[in-house]
Amino acid sequence: MSDKPHKVSRQQVYTLLVEIGRKEGDGLPKKATGAALVVYASGVDEGEAVRETVAILKQADTAPLDVTGYGTLDERLEQGHEIDEEERALMARALEENAVIVAQMTPFFDEDDQAAR
């Protein structure tokens, strides 16, 4: 009998907000100063999910600066967060694939650049 199902049952998905700075080749818009990423990451605890996320983002040529954890699906529901079906599907995919999924990316711009738009 394989212990893989037991390992998967210990995994949970955590919602993380990651701020990234600029780095050559990061794929952000030209005038962006950085970005915020909403990430769903699996791990046996939030610390593991954060470590895996930072490692993968570094491999993707981004510069992670700060990570804020918002907890698991159950923890977020207890806090009163509304979580739609699309978000739940991404969380399920992160758990199933033991993956880090970037669900949303919002670039940051200097105020001067914002006013010029």
Dump pLDDT digits (tens) for 70-80.
999 999 999 99
Q: Which amino acid is it at 61?
A: D
Q: How far is CA 69 from the centre of its chain?
A: 9
How far is 28 from 32, CA to CA, in rounded Å? 6
Dump pLDDT digits (tens) for 3-29.
444 444 589 999 999 999 999 999 999
Which DSSP state fits 39? E
* Among 22, 79, 19, residue whose Cα is nearest residue 54: 19
pTM: predicted TM-score of the whole model, two decimal places:
0.85
